[in-house]
Amino acid sequence: MTNSSPSLPVAPADIDAAARVLAPFAVRTPLLSLPALDERVGAKVFLKPEMLQRTGSFKFRGAFNKLSSIPQAARGGGVVAFSSGNHAQGVAAAAQILNMRATIVMPADAPRSKRERTMGYGAEVVLYDRDREDREAIARRIAGKHGATLVPPYDDPQVIAGQGTVGREIAEDMAALGLTPDIVIAPASGGGLVAGVATAVLSRYPQAVVMSAEPEGFDDHARSLSVGRREAHQAEGRTICDALMASIPGEITFAVNQRLLVRGVTASDAEVGAAVAFVFRELKLVVEPGGAVGLAALLAGRVEARGKTIAIVLSGGNVDADLYARLIA
C-alpha cells in the first residue's frame, strides 16, 4: 500500500500546500485521549475533535483550500455549493473570509441549526426537496447564471487536499508522541475526508490501516471497497447521521480510497446515539451523529482494537439541540 504513486489525484505535497494555506485561518485541533476509553476497548485511542474546527466541522478545511485556489479573475462571480449542511457552512465561512459571494443549495429537511448557521456566515440559501429535485442540477443552473464557481462537497482534488490536513495533523501529533498509528478511522459520505486523511497518514505511516465509517445501510464505501468498484448503498429511509447520506462514493475520492483504504466499518443509529452520549459524558464534547460513527463502530466492537494504537476522526458537532437532548438522555 502506497500513496506516492503519481497516478493518484491527490499527493501528500498537495496536503502540505493546503496546510500552509489553511494555517492562518483553520483551527489546529488537538489530538485527545481518554483513559476511560482506552480501558474500555483495550487500546490506545486518540480522537481528532473536528467539532472544534471553524464552522463546527472539518468541512471548512476543504472549502477554504478550494476557494483559495480560485483565480482572482473568477472570484467576482462568487461560489455555489450543494450540501446537507456542514459543507455549506464551510463554503459560506470560507467565502466570507475571502470576501466572495456564496449561494448554498440545501435540502429543505436539513437541520435548522445548519441552515441558520450558513446564513449567519452571509451566504444565500436556496432550499430543494431531497426526494424530488436534483441538487447538482440546481447548483449548476445557479453557477451558470451568476458565473459562480461550483464548489463540490468532496469530488475535487483541492477539497480532498484540504480535508487531508486532518490526517496530516494526526500524523504530526502521533509522531510528537512517539507513537505509530495502527488503525485510522474517518467517517465517509462522499469520501473526501477519509481520502485526504488516508493520503496524509499513509505518507508518514505506510503500514497504518485506514478505514471509512458509515451508518448501517448507508454503507456505499464498505460495499464499494469490498467489491472493488463504486457501488451505491441500498438504504431507502433516513439515518440520524444526516451528514453521511451520499448514495455512492465520489469518482475522484474512490480512485484514492480504493487504493489506500483497507475496508469500511458501519454502526447502527442506536450505536451512534450511544457514542454521542459517551462523548457528552466522558469527553465533554458535542459530536453530531455523523461525526461519531467511527467511534460508534469502535465502541460496538466492530474494530479489532485490542493492543492497537488507533486514531478516530470526530468530524463535526452541528446537531440540533432537540435531537442532541434525546441522544444524551
Among 76, 78, 255, 208, CA closest to 151: 78
Least distance to its own copies, CB of residue 326, Å:
8
Cell of 98: 475571502
Q: Considering beta carbons, is residue 193 or 255 the nearer one to its own copies?
A: 193
Least distance to its own copies, CB of residue 24, Å:
12
Least distance to its own copies, CB of residue 117, Å:
8
Q: Considering beta carbons, is residue 304 or 322 the nearer one to its own copies?
A: 322
Distance CA 5, CA 11 (A): 8
Among 185, 164, 182, 186, CA closest to 174: 182
Q: Considering beta carbons, is residue 12 or 90 the nearer one to its own copies?
A: 90
Q: Considering beta carbons, is residue 248 or 323 the nearer one to its own copies?
A: 323
Distance CA 190, CA 277 (A): 26
Q: Considering beta carbons, is residue 42 or 120 the nearer one to its own copies?
A: 120
Least distance to its own copies, CB of residue 255, Å:
32
**For binding to its own copies (CB under 8 A), which residues are involved?**
27, 30, 32, 35-36, 49, 51-52, 54, 56, 113, 120, 277, 280-287, 317-318, 321-322, 324-325, 328-329
Residue 44: phi and psi, rounded to 5, are -95, 110
Q: Considering beta carbons, is residue 249 or 273 the nearer one to its own copies?
A: 273
Among 3, 1, 23, 22, CA closest to 13: 3
Q: Considering beta carbons, is residue 134 or 322 the nearer one to its own copies?
A: 322
Beta strands at 183-187 and 309-314: parallel, antiparallel or unpaired: parallel
Kindly provide the b/e burial profile for residues 43-61, where b requires at least 16 CB atoms within 10 angstroms of the residue's own CB.
Answer: bbbbbbbbbbbbbbbbbbb
Angle at alpha carbon of residue 71, lines to 70 and 74, rounded to 5°: 85
Asked if residues 267 and 296 have their Cβ atoms less than 8 Å apart, the reply is yes
- Report which secondary-structure segment, H or E, holds 125: strand 124-128
Least distance to its own copies, CB of residue 56, Å:
6
Distance CA 115, CA 92 (A): 11
Which residue type does 210 have?
V
Least distance to its own copies, CB of residue 59, Å:
14
Q: Considering beta carbons, is residue 202 or 286 the nearer one to its own copies?
A: 286
Least distance to its own copies, CB of residue 34, Å:
8
Reduce the DSSP state of residue 127 to 3 states and report it: strand
Q: Dihedral angle at the C-alpha atoms of 94, 96, 99, 101, nearest 10 degrees?
A: 90
Least distance to its own copies, CB of residue 157, Å:
28
